[in-house]
Structure 1
Amino acid sequence: LPEYMKMCFKTLDDITNEISTKVHKEHKWNPVGSLRKAWASLCNAFLVEAKWFASGHVPKAEEYLKNGAVSSGVHVVLVHLFFLLGHGITKENVDLVDDFPGIISSTATILRLWDDLGSAKVNANHMQVVN
C-alpha cells in the first residue's frame, strides 16, 4: 500500500480487532474473519467504481446495481450490528450473514438507489444554478 493509505488501513484493522475482542468477550464468538471479509468486499466495490470512473466506463444497470449494493456500505454496517447485538450468533447464521443474503442485498440496493436519486437531484439543481 502507498504510505498515505497505510495509516487508514492500520486504523481500520485496529478498530476491527477492537470490535472483535469486545464481541468475543461478550458473546463468545470471534467475528474478525467476517468483519474483514465485509470490509474487503466494500473496498473491492470502491475499487471497481474507481476503475469505471478512470476508464470512462458506464456500466449497465445490472452491473452497477450489483456493485452499488456492496458499495453502499449496508452490508458492512449490518454485519457489525449483527455481532455487536449478539443475538443468534451461530455458525449457520454467521455463514448466512457472510454470504450477503437477499434481505441485506435488497435493502442495500434500495438505499443505493435512494442515495443516487438524492445525488441526481442535487446535481440537477446545481446545473440550473450554473446555467
Structure 2
Amino acid sequence: MILIIDDVYGSLEELERFTNAVHRWEATEIEQLPECMKLCFRVLSDITKETAREIQMEKGWSHDQVQPHLQKVWAEFCKALFVEAKWYNRGHTPSLQEYLTNAWISSSGTVLSVHSFFSIASEPSEEMINFAKKNHDLVYNISLIIRLCNDLGTSVAEQERGDAASSIACCMREMNVSEEAARKHVKVMIGKAWKKINGHCFTQSPMLQLCVNINTNMARVALNLYHNRDGFGVQDRENKRQILSLLVEPFKLD
C-alpha cells in the first residue's frame, strides 16, 4: 500500500485534494478526483479499517486505540509526499534541515513502525501504550536511516529523471561541495543515527524489546537494500542471491 500511495500521480491541485481526503478520512473529499485516485483512497481507507479490526480481534486492543493511530500516520505520510510534490513542481531545492524534517516521514518509517507495533503487541498495557510516545527518537532515527540509505542508492537515477531533490543534492547545494563529499556527509549522519538507535536497544524492558528489534531491523533492511545500489527498484543478481540464500536454499551443515 505504501508503494501505491507513493506512486499516486496527478496535478498539484488533485494531489492536494487527495491529501486532504486522507487527512479527514472523508470520501466526499475525492468526488472531483480522477477514478484512479478515488480507487487509491478507497483501498487505503478499507485496508486501514480492516487492519484495525483484525488487531482488535486478535490482540484485544479497542477500536479507538488502534484506528486513529493508523489513520494519523497515513495522513502524515501523504502530507509529506505532497510537500515533496510541491518542491518538484516549483523546482525548489530545500535546505538540508528542511529536507530532513519532511523526509523522515516520507520514508514511510512511521507507517511501518506503527503497524508493526500493533501487530506484535499481545495485549494492551500502560507500558505498551506509552511506547510510541517515549520512543519518538527511535522511530525518527530509524525513519531517517531508511530515507538516507534510499537517497544514497537512488539519487543518481532520480537526478537523471529530474525528480525532487534528495539529501545528496541538498548537501551539495547548501555546503557547495562535490557529490562525493555530500555522500560522505550523509553516511556520517547515518552513523550518528545508528548510535542513537543502539542506545535504545539496551535500555528497554524485555516486554518492549521485540518492538525495538523489529523497528531496528527496518533500518538494517534499508542499509542492505541500498548499499551502493538501488536494490529495491532495480532487481539485480546480488539481490536475487541474497533472497535465495535466506529463504530458499537449505543451510549447509559441515
| TM-score of the alignment, normalized to the shorter chain, above 0.5 | yes
Using the TM superposition, give the Cα deviation of residue 120 of structure 1 relative to its aligned residue in structure 2, in angstroms: 2.5
Tell me what 1:22 maps to. 54
Q: TM-score, normalised by structure 2?
A: 0.45
**Gaps spanning 5+ residues in structure 1: where?**
127-131
Q: TM-score, normalised by structure 1?
A: 0.84
Runs of 4+ in 1 over 6 A off after TM superposition: none
Distance 1:94 1:67, change over 3 A: farther
**Are 1:107 and 2:139 an aligned pair?**
no
Q: Which one-letter code corresponds to 2:89 in the other structure? A: A
Greater share of helix residues, 1 or 2?
1
Using the TM superposition, give the Cα deviation of residue 8 of structure 1 relative to its aligned residue in structure 2, in angstroms: 0.6
Where do residues 43-122 of structure 1 align in structure 2 (5 Å cutoff)?
43-87=78-122, 89-90=124-125, 93-94=128-129, 96-97=131-132, 101-122=136-157
Tell me what 1:12 maps to. 44
Q: Which one-letter code corresponds to 2:34 in the other structure? A: E
Using the TM superposition, give the Cα deviation of residue 88 of structure 1 relative to its aligned residue in structure 2, in angstroms: 6.2
Cα RMSD between the aligned structures? 2.4
Using the TM superposition, give the Cα deviation of residue 28 of structure 1 relative to its aligned residue in structure 2, in angstroms: 1.7
Distance 1:122 1:53, change over 3 A: closer
Bigger RCO of structures 1 and 2 (CA < 8 A, at least 6 apart):
1
Q: Distance in 2 between matches of 1:14 and 1:84?
A: 17
Distance 1:56 1:91, change over 3 A: farther
**Gaps spanning 5+ residues in structure 2: where?**
1-29, 162-254
Distance 1:97 1:122, change over 3 A: same
